[in-house]
Amino acid sequence: MRIYRETYLTNRIFYGLGLVILLFCAGYVETWIMWIAATSFALILILALIDLYLNFRNKEPVSAKRESTKVFSLFDENPITLTLENKGFEKWNIRVIDEIPLQFQNRDFEIITRLVALEERKMRYELKPIKRGEYWFGNINVFISTTIGIIERRLVFNAEKMVKVYPSFIQMRAFELMVFSADRAQAGIKKIRKLGHGYEFSDIRQYSIGDDPRTVNWKASSRSAQLMVNNFQEERSQQIYAVINKSRVMRMPFNGLSLLDYAINSTLSLQNIVLQNQDHAGLIVFSGQEESFLRAERKFNQRQRLLESLYNIEGDQQEANYQALYESIRKNIRGRSMLMLFTNFMSLNSLHRVLPILKQINRSHLLTIIFFENTELEDFIEENPKTLLDISSNVLASKLSNELTQVVYELRNAGIQAIQSKPEDLTANSINKYLELKSRGMI
């Protein structure tokens, strides 16, 4: 039974049998062709038996295993390595079908290679998940065949494994390197010029050439009979909250990823920079009501707590309740903080409905609204209309685009910081805004 379950016929035997059938048909016209057909059929049977013996004379001629990271990064290429080892002295034609998770919907995934005697070969491929959650890998199916190639033997290796897909920690590390490297401006992170003295007093030290004369402490200088200057350090331990709207307006997809997932990826990268910058990082998730609140802290495990909280966010179909958000902020956040609100506005009217609440939040905290530019809408506007319906649709799209641009001016006129960003540029723009506001000492 084991041989029966593991045996597969290749296309070669069907081509050969097809040729034999044609020869038998021709044998009705010319009798001597019938002998050729019978001889060919016998030869195919003999080769099939020889091939069957060569395939099954070893219990396990080939071994296979899969190696991958414990967790995957959302919307990034995650490497998978398959290791094949030939345990005998035969040459094998190999066809590998790895049972990758159902979320990828890849039904024809296979790798074709060859193994010589006692060879070990590593083959790598990459998977790009577009949803957070649990991904289950199945078994590794290895089909081996000899040079004859009539019979294929299927070997199944148990490699079932569950991998969690987290928000993009690969992007997080990349932006960390960009921010704290010398050539960060080339990587999309702006170099912010520090304005004024947004610093905390540290100590008094002796004046040295090149110090700002405005920092001279004249009282200390008169007591010590030499010039002394005030020494300042950058303000740290400030509270930075990422506020994520997970309502229905964030379910819109762009390039295979929802706006909510773009916001989650950006939040992870932003809060990692916040922690590296010695500030306190926190998280608020809301929709119809506050769903999650992670207090801003700078503990050693805060990054992992943020990662787990972001991993568990699921979008819903409710309308965002900004009044509940305001009450939650007033209740849970003490002291002035920077709030980076990731949301989306579908029109100018949607902003006007919540603008009074946003103004109230901005009175007590430094509020920055980060919403998305509809890139597909802009692409549609650029198209050349050909029919009357296309012209009317183009006009409506242009009107909506102008309204979304007006949203930025409305927010800034209300004294609220605002960013309208393309989804793919969201992380860089968010980090740039944080660095800018910190350098200006606005918090």
Q: Which amino acid is at 328?
A: S
Nearest of 293, 362, 286 to residue 325 by alpha carbon: 286
Nearest of 24, 28, 53, 36 to residue 146 by alpha carbon: 53
Claim to verify: residue 94 and residue 227 sit in the same structural domain: no
What is the pLDDT, as a whole number, of residue 199? 53
What is the pLDDT, as a whole number, of residue 235? 56
Distance separating alpha carbons of residues 165 and 261, to the nearest angstrom: 12
Count up the domains in the chain and report the number.
Answer: 4
Q: Look up the CATH number of the domain holding residue 79.
A: 2.60.40.10
Q: Which amino acid is at 138?
A: G
What is the pLDDT, as a whole number, of residue 381? 67
Out of 23, 38, 56, a domain closes at 56
Claim to verify: residue 70 and residue 86 sit in the same structural domain: yes
* Contact between residue 231 and residue 203 where contact means Cβ atoms under 8 Å apart: yes
What is the pLDDT, as a whole number, of residue 193? 43
Give the residue numbers spanning the domain of 19: 2-56
What is the pLDDT, as a whole number, of residue 227? 84
* Contact between residue 27 and residue 34 where contact means Cβ atoms under 8 Å apart: yes
- Per-residue confidence in pLDDT tens, the chain, 443 aa: 567 788 888 888 899 899 989 988 988 888 888 899 889 999 999 998 998 888 888 888 999 999 998 899 998 999 999 999 998 888 999 999 999 998 888 878 889 999 998 889 999 999 999 889 899 999 999 999 998 888 899 999 998 999 999 998 888 888 877 776 645 554 455 544 444 444 555 567 787 776 777 778 878 788 887 888 876 655 567 899 999 999 888 888 888 888 899 999 999 999 999 998 888 999 999 987 666 888 988 888 899 999 999 998 888 888 888 998 998 898 888 888 999 999 988 888 888 899 999 999 999 899 999 988 877 666 666 777 777 777 777 777 777 777 777 888 888 888 899 888 888 888 989 998 898 888 777 77
Claim to verify: residue 264 and residue 300 sit in the same structural domain: yes
Claim to verify: residue 307 and residue 344 sit in the same structural domain: yes
* Both structure tokens of 100: 């990758």
Claim to verify: residue 341 and residue 434 sit in the same structural domain: yes
Q: Look up the CATH number of the domain holding residue 426.
A: 3.40.50.410
What is the pLDDT, as a whole number, of residue 220? 78
Distance separating alpha carbons of residues 72 and 168, to the nearest angstrom: 8
Distance separating alpha carbons of residues 117 and 169, to the nearest angstrom: 41
Claim to verify: residue 136 and residue 174 sit in the same structural domain: no
At 100, is the secondary structure helix, strand, or coil? coil
Q: What are phi and psi of 35, to 5 degrees?
A: -65, -40
Claim to verify: residue 331 and residue 221 sit in the same structural domain: no
Nearest of 241, 307, 317 to residue 279 by alpha carbon: 241
Distance separating alpha carbons of residues 311 and 167, to the nearest angstrom: 6
Claim to verify: residue 40 and residue 147 sit in the same structural domain: no
Query: What is the model's pTM?
Result: 0.78
Claim to verify: residue 132 and residue 160 sit in the same structural domain: yes
Claim to verify: residue 369 and residue 429 sit in the same structural domain: yes
Distance separating alpha carbons of residues 443 and 440, to the nearest angstrom: 8
Claim to verify: residue 18 and residue 67 sit in the same structural domain: no
Q: Are strands 161-166 and 280-286 parallel, antiparallel or unpaired?
A: unpaired
What is the pLDDT, as a whole number, of residue 186? 45
What is the pLDDT, as a whole number, of residue 200? 52
Claim to verify: residue 174 and residue 104 sit in the same structural domain: no
Distance separating alpha carbons of residues 432 and 420, to the nearest angstrom: 13
Residue 78's Cβ-side half-sphere holds a number of Cα atoms within 13 Å equal to 24
